[in-house]
């Protein structure tokens, strides 16, 4: 049984730990799961029929942005993204509240329907978009209208390749949320916000 003294000691320790004077009462977060395909997966990632236009439209209906995270089995930076970056509640909550993330395998064989209606394997879609490194995040417009007529790379509002430390990782998602890509590059935004 928890005595009043033990409770107050816990509040003091929690206050000191979080610097806010409040006990962190957030429920336990769901952990990344290693799938049979060798990729870590966040339980809140988008469940999809792999039709990109529909996925973007669904995200827009929820007032969220649509992004693709490209990964590869055995990629140490993909693993670090899941076990370090996504494990931070402030990062996870920011992204979950504002984004729908579709996870694709850069050498995968699942069939994906692109914005232009072309059906290709994950590997061929990666080639079509010039995705060569993992992890890579592709961020798209908040509206699918007109995307089918654009060249693949012109469909993206920004892209980030490779591992980003947690602070820059969160800034990348803020960059898209704030539509800062309309004013400058992600690189400039990260420099200005470091």
Confidence of residue 5 (pLDDT cuts 50, 70, 90): very low
Please determine, for residue 19, whether its predicted confidence score (pLDDT) is greater than 60. Answer: no
Find the mean pLDDT for residues 158-168: 96
Task: Judge contact between 125 and 114, C-beta under 8 A.
Answer: yes
Degrees, nearest 5: CA angle 144-148-153? 90
What digits encode the pLDDT tens for the residues 94-137?
999 999 999 999 999 999 999 999 999 999 999 999 999 999 99
Instruction: Tally helices (H) and strands (E) across the chain.
Output: 7, 8
Residues in a beta bridge with 68:
102, 138
Please determine, for residue 15, whether its predicted confidence score (pLDDT) is greater than 90. Answer: no
Please determine, for residue 29, whether its predicted confidence score (pLDDT) is greater than 90. Answer: no
Domains and CATH numbers, the chain: 1-28 (no CATH), 31-192 (3.40.30.10)
pTM: 0.83
Distance of CA 151 to the CA centre of its chain: 23
Query: Is 84 in a helix, a strand, or coil?
Result: helix
Residue whose pair of structure tokens reads 């055995």 in the numeric block: 74
Query: Is 124 in a helix, a strand, or coil?
Result: helix
What digits encode the pLDDT tens for the residues 51-69?
999 999 999 999 999 999 9
Mean pLDDT for the chain? 87
């Amino acid at each position: 049984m928890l005595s009043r003294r033990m409770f107050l000691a816990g509040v003091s320790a929690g206050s000191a730990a979080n610097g806010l004077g409040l006990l962190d009462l957030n429920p336990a977060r769901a952990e990344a799961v290693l799938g049979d395909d060798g990729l870590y997966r966040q339980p809140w990632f988008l469940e999809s029929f792999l039709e990109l236009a529909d996925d973007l439209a669904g995200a827009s209906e929820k007032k969220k942005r649509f992004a693709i995270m490209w990964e590869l089995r055995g990629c140490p930076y993909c693993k670090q993204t899941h076990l370090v970056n996504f494990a931070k509640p402030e990062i996870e909550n920011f992204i979950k509240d504002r984004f729908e993330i579709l996870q694709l395998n850069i050498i995968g064989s699942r069939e994906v329907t692109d914005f232009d209606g072309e059906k290709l394997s994950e590997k061929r879609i990666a080639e079509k978009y010039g995705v060569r490194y993992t992890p890579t995040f592709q961020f798209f417009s908040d509206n699918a209208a007109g995307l089918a007529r654009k060249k693949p790379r012109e469909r993206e509002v920004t892209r980030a390749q490779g591992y980003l430390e947690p602070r820059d990782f969160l800034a990348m998602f803020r960059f898209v949320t704030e539509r800062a890509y309309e004013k400058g590059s992600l690189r400039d935004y990260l420099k200005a916000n470091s």
